[in-house]
Structure 1
């Protein structure tokens, strides 16, 4: 993910020291109509994923929030920028802090991720910026590899429709 200008400016002052960064993960879900069936088998929910250009991993859309940006608006912005899909936040599915992330240039960060369940409103999923090499909808039972455990966790959180927000303890 490209480093936002405000982070670059902070790095001029603090160098590579650990930085606490607010971020968002937008888990965009297409839920089947309860009456839809395929050959008598109930249809399954699908999740929108991107394959990152930097490491080849499959992830939900995510990104750093701009200063003063609401997480729901930031998640919608990231989804549109990365996939071309217009989506809206349905609910906060969870909030958690990542472990320390150290980048090849030495920069250290921890992210406070607000995970949002989102629904697609319009648009065709496609690679829409340089951050991804593939974009697609995947049945929840057939997620592509490689996908990390924390990605599976946030997908599970978002799929639990109507559940209260989750937190790591």
Structure 2
């Protein structure tokens, strides 16, 4: 995530102290083609982060007063250049605390969502936050995708296949009964 201007302004006053920030994670799936075998699985859109080299879903920080669904659509367009539509809530939970290379500390209240893009959408690097972008089979994700993102991708597949039976994850550290 590049740092929004309002956070840079806050940092002038509070230094590296921990900030509690609203954020979102966008799981973008491309369904298996219609009529494909039961072994075909959806693909997830991932970007290789410039800051750590890991593959991850698109993420972003909400601007002051911005609805999280608006943040989701905006961040997808800014980072991977495609128009997206929010389809479903996957969950809400804490991420962090995170200490960045410059010493800044953040704790994020993250809202994760499943988004869709047009069938012919071709993502591309639209900013400098990532170094690559590609579609990956959810059965063969890159090793650098972290545990939390793997859970959210699995949740997105479950929600897409069985929307009526899906319950959003409330807290990322454990699944509510």
- How many residues are paired up? 166
Q: 2:58 aligns with which of 43, 58, 61?
A: 61
Structure 1 unpaired stretches of 5+:
none
Describe the superposition over 1:81-139 as per-residue Cα deviations: whole angstroms up to 9, x where unpaired: 11112111111100000121111211110001100011112531111210111101111
Asked if the contact 1:49–1:138 (Cα under 8 Å) also holds between the matched residues in 2, the reply is yes
Give matches, 1:7-86, under 5 Å: 7-37=7-37, 42-86=39-83
Residue 2 of structure 2 is matched in structure 1 by 2
Matched, 1:165 2:161: no
Residue 96 of structure 1 is matched in structure 2 by 93
CA distance in 1, matches of 2:135, 2:73: 17
Runs of 4+ aligned residues of structure 1 deviating over 6 Å after TM superposition are none
Structure 2 unpaired stretches of 5+:
none
Q: CA RMSD in A?
A: 1.4
Q: How big is the shift at 1:25?
A: 0.5
Asked if the contact 1:32–1:43 (Cα under 8 Å) also holds between the matched residues in 2, the reply is yes
